[in-house]
Structure 1
Amino acid sequence: MPLKLRRKPGSPNWYIRGTVSGIHVDRSTQTSNRKAAEAIRIRTEAQILQRAALGKKATATFEEAAVNYLMADGEERFLDPLLRHFAGKKLSEIDNAAINAAAQKLYPKASPATINRQLITPISAILNMAAEDKLCDPIRLRRRKVDTKVTRWLTPEEFEAFAAELPPHLARIIGFMIGSGARVRETLSLQASTFYQGTRQAYLVDTKNGHPRMVEFPERARQMICTKGLPEKGTLFLSSRGNPYELRDNTGGQIKTAFNKARHRAGLESKGPRKVTPHTIRHTWATWFYSQTQDFGKLLDLGGWADADTANIYRKMAPEDLPERLLQHGWDFRRGHQPHTSNLRALR
């Protein structure tokens, strides 16, 4: 219970009595002045609480803080390697130097964006909550500087040339990605039971942020996806050998070989800042979708981004004739709602 002031028979002075943080107090303030005694009571209680907090800070570990974080519905993704790396580490030992060492060991070849997402963001969330619980002092971890250069996206003409070089199994995968904006892992984990050909929709369960979402795709994408040999149950997209792909957090590698061969045959860049990769398809979808619909809210929902700033990185500046060129190649993302005529004057 909080400390309180009490009188004792035969003494003119005020006494402090009570228990705080397991510490029992029963002593005189050495003053009969109530105001002065109250100030002493407050100072005494604060000192006990401070010592208790220092004790917790001295012993609190990363594992303890991580458990508290997860029990408060914190995101579990990316925590396993962090828990192994920081096993036995006290929170007071985790600083920017420790983060740098963790990055070199856990993600030696990762991009700055990946280190921010998979290392610094989850650790920051755990430390921030621990600081609120008085388990450690607040600390601001230094995030990696991410290159903000314009990322490559494909024109309709480039994509059609690329699509023409794709083997059947990869054409289905790329067709779904370009039509829905799904990431590689989200695509490769899609089940036939949550793929709705009739409504041109799919329900993604294994998503990057852990929140399932419904996506949609245009008729042109359905034509690429729904070809002979598409499974009716189990995993929807299979390898050239008819097997499900191995799912990984850092996706893209599973389809890399076939993707790169088609890229080479289509004459697309394989090096430098304009290198075309599987992730280029997601940037392309965002640019195409927004150019035709001008619906940023729906772009955010379908893309599964947590904030508008991230979505803005994906939708690129595009020429005014892009919507019409997309239609000429059969790509129509408007899905029954009226486009903004000021931006889509050429659409019919």
Structure 2
Amino acid sequence: MPLKLIRRNGTGNYYLRGNVAGSNIYTSTGTSDHQAAENIRIRTEAQILERASLGRRATVTFAEAALNYMNTGGETRFLAPILKHFGRDTRLAEIDNAAVNQAAAKLYAGAKPATINRQLITPISAILTMAAEDGLCEWRKLRRRRVSDKKTRWLTPEEFETLAAKLDAHLVPIIGFMIGTGARVRETLTLQTSTLYLAQGQALLTDTKNGAPRMVRLPGRAVEMIETRELPEMGTAFTTNKGLPYAIKDNTGGQIRRGFNNARDAAELGPDVTPHTIRHTWATWHYAQNRDFGALLDLGGWSKADVANIYRKIAPDDLAERLLAHGWDYRTAGRLDALQQSPLRIVR
């Protein structure tokens, strides 16, 4: 029998009930509006009949495949705008390079190729791959955007000292923490005083880019920079020049950009130096002294090795010694005075 609209006790949301093509249906429409519920009834019934005649593979939707992906532990971080764009009725078979290009134009107009790859193409590809493994669609490969291989900007020890000398007082601990741990701006500004262990030269980051908490290690010189300003007893460890927590909006460094740029310009470093350059610098310095790629991946919070691999190739041979000359020692965590007697050892 066709689907009917019913209400429990005559009030609330409408429910669909009935049997279509051998399938017993009893589900909420999610709306108390009769016309909207009727539209859902018609669409649902048509989809069931179509699937019965053509098979699930021909009619499964992208939204259904995405739900299956999420229910099995798939990464959900960038899915919300994608699902909203494709809606509930776009078929999985319709998701191809043309559909992705249209989504990119609407969702990420003006975005960098790497952003489109990471936040659009990678999530869609993951859903398609799982769907293909489940026999819901053919295997297909989406075309990724070409990412420029321009030089990664990092600071030499000498450049960093010049920058540090120009920082406003409230930025010294923030940049000190970032250069000591490789933490991103958001990860730094959301750090809680309760998880900053200066005596041990460690900190636990909980609001990370990939959602997984990670422990980071601070060299003594970074601890010294952090201790130039009294930290709050509770709440976020790093605050504005007025002692207030930073408003967290994104991970682009916007919260500290003005002050950082003022110091950068005073240091005559150029516009290619941004807050995120500090993360590039940490990675370059850390690998130069440790030659431990596994530790670099773990401490930096990268899930894919290819992202961090560039830092293995860009440092000059004398960087490790130059860092020591400026008081930077990434080989062990802890305070500077405990490390000054430790000879430099590089494993190649």
What are the Cα deviations for residues 66-124 of structure 1, in whole angstroms up to 9, with x where unaligned? 11111101111111111211112221221111111111211112111111111111111
Match of 2:170, SS state, is: helix
Superposed, 1:46-61 pairs within 5 Å as 55-61=55-61
Which residue does 1:176 correspond to in 2?
Answer: 177
Say if 2:255 is the partner of 1:267. no
Quick check: 2:184–2:251 contact (8 Å CA) kept in 1? no
Corresponding position of 2:151: 150
Letter matched to residue 301 of structure 2? G
Match of 2:232 in 1: 231
Tell me the distance in 2 between the aligned counterparts of 1:250 and 1:141: 27
Give the TM-score of the pair, scaled to structure 2: 0.78
SS of the aligned residue for 2:199 comes to coil
Aligned-pair distance for 1:137? 2.3
Percent identity over paired residues? 64
CA displacement at 1:185 relative to structure 2: 1.4
Unmatched segments (≥5 aa) in structure 1 = 1-20, 24-50, 344-348
CA distance in 1, matches of 2:314, 2:52: 56
Whole-Å separation in 2 of the counterparts to 1:338 and 1:53: 75
- 1:230-286 Cα offsets, whole Å, 9 max, x none, are 11211112222333223244422221111111110000011xxxx111111111101
> Counterpart of 2:285?
288
CA distance in 2, matches of 1:197, 1:107: 40
Deviation per residue, 1:164-220 (Å, 9 max, x gap): 111122221111110001111111111111111110111111111121111001011
Q: 1:323 to 1:155 in 2, by over 3 A?
A: same
What residue in structure 2 maps to residue 97 of structure 1? Answer: 98
With over 3 angstroms needed to count, the CA separation of the structure-2 counterparts of 1:341 and 1:260, relative to structure 1, is closer
Q: How many angstroms apart in 2 are the aligned matches of 1:80 and 1:237?
A: 31
Contact map agreement 1:154 1:280 (CA 8 A) in 2: yes
Output the CA distance in 2 between the equivalents of 1:116 and 1:93.
19
Which of 1 and 2 has greater Rg?
1
Matched, 1:72 2:69: no
Unpaired segments ≥5 residues, structure 2: 1-20, 24-50, 334-341
- Which residue of structure 2 aligns with residue 27 of structure 1? none
Residue 53 and residue 277 in structure 1: after superposition, are their counterparts in 2 closer, same or farther (change >3 A)? farther
- Aligned counterpart, 1:82: 82
Q: RMSD in angstroms over aligned alpha carbons?
A: 2.2
Q: Supply the distance in 1 between the matched residues of 2:328 and 2:70 (Cα, whole angstroms).
A: 43
TM (norm. structure 1) is 0.78
Counterpart AA for 1:226: E
**Number of residue pairs the alignment of both structures matches:** 292
Matched, 1:247 2:254: no
SS in structure 2 at match of 1:214: strand
